[in-house]
Amino acid sequence: MKNPAARLRPLNGLFGDIKGKRVVNLMGSHGSKAVALSLLGAQATVIDFSEENASYARDLAEKANTSIRYIVSDVLNLTDDSLWESFDYVLMELGILHYFMDLAPLFDVIKKLLSPGGRLVLHDFHPISTKLITSKGKKHKVDGNYFNPSLSAANVAYSKHLSTEATDEHEVLLRKWTLGEIITAIAEENLVIKKLSEEPNIKVHDIGIPKTFTVVAEKGA
């Protein structure tokens, strides 16, 4: 509540004056970004399939004396036609794309959600860091294949809260995309790329290695 803009870093400048704008945070998890957007005057919506995340997000909004709309749904199976072309911005950030085995259906939904002239803001981990380089302290090792399209198994994000016995039962398959594949999938939906930035890792030993990237793409009027 004291500084909601800080919750949006490093994306603050990509939204401009957010007051009155309709923003949907796809796979928005526990709603912290949506609540921050709402505090700044946006009409904020989250679409995520977790009932637990929805409960937390609604409680967070209430405690912050604001309101958000939370739709519990798989983003690829939205049934409410009133959502189409109803958002000025679609926000996606940090660790989402690798859950999709095919990017085309996802960006098709994004295009449908955006109103004419609306913008996608995508902020995610850079494929150089997720596919190619393994870092440990001062040591960096190129041990991956950047162009490998195969799936990899990983523990779910909340596995650290599970017992050792339960962890093995909570794995997920990931498809780690190259930057070229991501940009191409956006462009193939006729979303116009307005900005592509690559952000460095700020850790002292990792300076010079890309950590994240940001894409801004616009739907035609």
Partners of 215 in the beta sheet? 122, 196
Task: Kindly report, residue by residue over 127-184, the tens digit of the pLDDT.
Answer: 999 999 988 888 888 989 999 999 988 887 766 666 666 555 678 899 999 999 999 9
Please compute the mean of the pLDDT values over residues 67-92 and round it to a whole number: 96
pLDDT above 60 for 111: yes
Please compute the mean of the pLDDT values over residues 21-48 and round it to a whole number: 96
**Per-residue model confidence (pLDDT) at position 139:** 86
Q: What predicted TM-score, i.e. pTM, was given to this entire model?
A: 0.91
Q: Give φ, ψ of 30 to 5 degrees.
A: -85, 5
pLDDT band of residue 67 (cuts 50, 70, 90) is: very high
Q: Are 120 and 190 in contact (CB under 8 A)?
A: no
**Per-residue model confidence (pLDDT) at position 156:** 76
